[in-house]
Amino acid sequence: MGKLLIVGTVAFDEIETPFGKTDKILGGAATFIGLSASQFDVASAIVSVVGDDLPQEYLDLLENKNIDISGIEVVKGGKTFYWKGKYHNDLNSRDTLATELNTLADFNPIVPENFKNAEIVMLGNLHPSIQMGVINQMSERPKLIILDTMNFWMDNALDELLEVIKKIDVLTINDEEARQLTNEYSLVKAAKEIQKMGPKYVVIKKGEHGALLFHKENVFFAPALPLEEVFDPTGAGDTFAGGFSGYLATTNNISFENLKKAVIHGSNLASFCVERFGTERMQDLKREDVSKRLHQFKMLTQFDIELK
Ligand code: AMP
């Protein structure tokens, strides 16, 4: 069983979509990544920080999924990271209405001793200097370091972000953010620019239009499953990252061919996340449902064509 180290926010989210709105509910990049990766047989741990305003049941939920939460610092009297977002009618774009870093503002991450040799490190969305702090604590170079980020950090910590991007193997990023990072409109050109910054692989997520994996001159595309019910896209990108990294940790194979499969697993899991608000759908997702949908995925993308 491979070891997967996850870094990212554990958060309070408040979400509004055309289908309704929530109060403060459990969210955060690491939460979605952890729940998604728990669909695989991996030993995973989360490094993050919260305040003691976060209900214990949220931490219990992660622990009950066999995630090591000893690296989640609980700050006495502190407030948990808070994010508020509102989706537009097409659900493909959203406005961030509030980002309160709270305890994240001066967090010094501590990697649990038994995860310092994790093969796969999934640096989920949070401050790039925290992402760097985690890389620096690893006892040996992980087999694969994956990083996910968003426009907030490009706007607020670009220099630190570019430094950490130099050290990683895979960048996962959405289409608009890839354009912002590189000033290139074409995603093919953007992926080439990103590869020059450090990572050998680039995954560009395009919401309901699927995901692209780039490596040198190779491109692989996975569609998103067309769904009847989409309530809330929050966390879909992180759920993708959790499926992608969880699959790589369980197979312990980082060839391009296996990365393609990881993209499919990531897309498959993300298709569940959007069916309910927040983490609701991921909390009690059964492995048999995941596997059933993987069959649908295969059917969706398979065709016979004569090539001359
Ligand atoms: P996604 O929809 O995959 O981009 O991820 C949404 C999750 O990211 C939400 O649960 C938020 O709590 C979290 N989030 C939003 N903004 C940030 C940020 N600036 N840094 C880290 N996590 C964030």
Interval 110-159: pLDDT, tens: 999 999 999 999 999 999 999 999 999 999 999 999 999 999 999 999 99
Q: What are the respective helix, strand and coil percentages of the chain, to the nearest 5?
A: 40, 25, 35
**pLDDT at 137 (0 to 100):** 98
Question: In the predicted model, what is the mean pLDDT of the chain?
Answer: 96
With vertex at residue 208, the alpha carbon angle to CA 121 and CA 251, rounded to the nearest 5 degrees, is 30
**pLDDT at 299 (0 to 100):** 92
Cα–Cα nearest to 267, from 219, 199, 209, 217? 209
**pLDDT at 91 (0 to 100):** 85
Q: Is the pLDDT of residue 29 over 80?
A: yes
**pLDDT at 34 (0 to 100):** 98
Task: Give the Å distances, CA to CA, from 72 to 45, 80, 242, 297.
Answer: 9, 12, 17, 35
Between the CA of 306 and the centroid of ligand 1 the distance, in Å, is 44
Q: Delineate the domains of the chain, giving CATH numbers in brackets.
A: 3-300 (3.40.1190.20)
What region, left, alpha or beta, does residue 236 occupy, with left being phi > 0 and alpha being psi -120 to 50 degrees?
Answer: alpha
Which residues are CB-neighbours of 299 under 8 A, at least 6 positions away? none
Does 85 contact ligand 1 (Cβ within 6 A)?
no
Cα–Cα nearest to 281, from 80, 32, 54? 32
Query: In testing the pocket of ligand 1, which one of 9, 94, 147, 206 has its CB within 8 Å of the most ligand atoms?
Result: 9
Q: Is the pLDDT of residue 1 over 80?
A: no
Does 246 contact ligand 1 (Cβ within 6 A)?
no
Does 234 contact ligand 1 (Cβ within 6 A)?
yes
Between the CA of 28 and the centroid of ligand 1 the distance, in Å, is 5
- CA-closest residue to ligand 1 atom 5: 235
pTM to 2 decimal places: 0.97
Interval 63-104: pLDDT, tens: 999 999 999 999 999 999 999 999 998 888 899 999 999 999
Interval 192-237: pLDDT, tens: 999 999 999 999 999 889 999 999 999 999 999 888 888 999 999 9
Alpha helices (H) along 21-146? 29-37, 56-64, 128-137
Cα–Cα nearest to 99, from 205, 27, 36? 27
CA distance 308 to 302: 19
Helix (H, G, I), strand (E, B) or coil at 230: coil
- CA-closest residue to ligand 1 atom 15: 83
Does 11 contact ligand 1 (Cβ within 6 A)?
yes
Does 164 contact ligand 1 (Cβ within 6 A)?
no
**pLDDT at 63 (0 to 100):** 98
Task: Kindly give the number of the ligand 1 atom that is closest to the alpha carbon of 237.
Answer: 3
Cα–Cα nearest to 247, from 120, 128, 153? 120
Between the CA of 302 and the centroid of ligand 1 the distance, in Å, is 33
Between the CA of 260 and the centroid of ligand 1 the distance, in Å, is 25
Between the CA of 8 and the centroid of ligand 1 the distance, in Å, is 9
CA distance 204 to 262: 14
- CA-closest residue to ligand 1 atom 16: 83
The answer to whether the CB of 213 falls within 8 A of the CB of 260 is yes
